[in-house]
Amino acid sequence: MLTGKQKRFLRSKAHHLNPIFQVGKGGVNENMIKQIREALEARELLKVSVLQNCDEDRDEVAEAIVKGAAAELVQIIGNTIVLYKESIENKQLVLP
């Protein structure tokens, strides 16, 4: 579980990132979760964009991804979800 200070730190780091995943009409599926899990291992911090044609609510999408990828939800702002998961082999960020 992330503290408020850690979330603030991660939000500042994520500000300059572009979303690398988009959730559209098909919603969240197992293949997408697998790819997000792999990307989190490589990057630790990433953004997911929820497109307007997505049938699910952005909160439901965030919950499904967090559960599936075992990640931490940093922030939902607009239609963008910011996720963090500490990397096992490729640690880049040091949390305060």
What pLDDT does residue 95 have?
A: 87
Structural domains of the chain ordered from first start = 4-84 (3.30.110.60)
Taking 90 as the threshold, does the pLDDT of residue 96 lie above it? no
Q: Do the bridges between strand 72-77 and strand 45-50 make them parallel or antiparallel, or are there none, so unpaired? A: unpaired
pLDDT, mean of residues 13-27: 94
**SS3 per residue for 25-74:** CCCCCHHHHHHHHHHHHHHCEEEEEECCCCCCCHHHHHHHHHHHHCCEEE
Nearest-angstrom CA–CA distance, 49 and 94:
25
Nearest-angstrom CA–CA distance, 35 and 21:
9
pLDDT, mean of residues 7-35: 95
What pLDDT does residue 93 have?
A: 83
DSSP 14: H
What pLDDT does residue 58 have?
A: 94
